[in-house]
Amino acid sequence: MHIITRQKLLACWMEPPDVEDALKAWEKEAEHAHWKSPVDIKARYRSADILLGNRVVFNIKGKHYRLVVKIHYNTEIVYIRFVGTHEEYNRINAEII
């Protein structure tokens, strides 16, 4: 998968730095993945939430952080839409962000 808007990942792991390793691990896995449908994601990430509009919410670092992405399965492009704490995630609408 090709990850777009990687800067959002970089900004998150700069502050606080405790999430850097977890986000880097997710990024590395995503770059080597070939997700063709939400079923492929659920097979690997059982706790991921599949939303409308090809959006997926990943739990990062033991559910302390949330990562919202929009995936174009046919072109293998992943758009980072949001990265933040669980508290920050509760203040957004993941289906439209």
* Percent of the residues in the chain that have a pLDDT greater than 70, as a whole number: 91
Could you tell me the pTM of the whole model?
0.90
Instruction: Tell me the two tokens of residue 60.
Output: 């990062």
DSSP state of 37: S
Class of domain 2-89: alpha beta
Q: Say if CB 31 and CB 37 are below 8 A apart.
A: no
Residue 86 CA to residue 76 CA, distance in Å, equals: 27
Residue 36 CA to residue 43 CA, distance in Å, equals: 12
- For 38-63, the pLDDT digits (tens) are 999 999 999 999 999 999 999 998 88
* Domains of the chain, residue spans: 2-89
Residue 70 CA to residue 51 CA, distance in Å, equals: 9
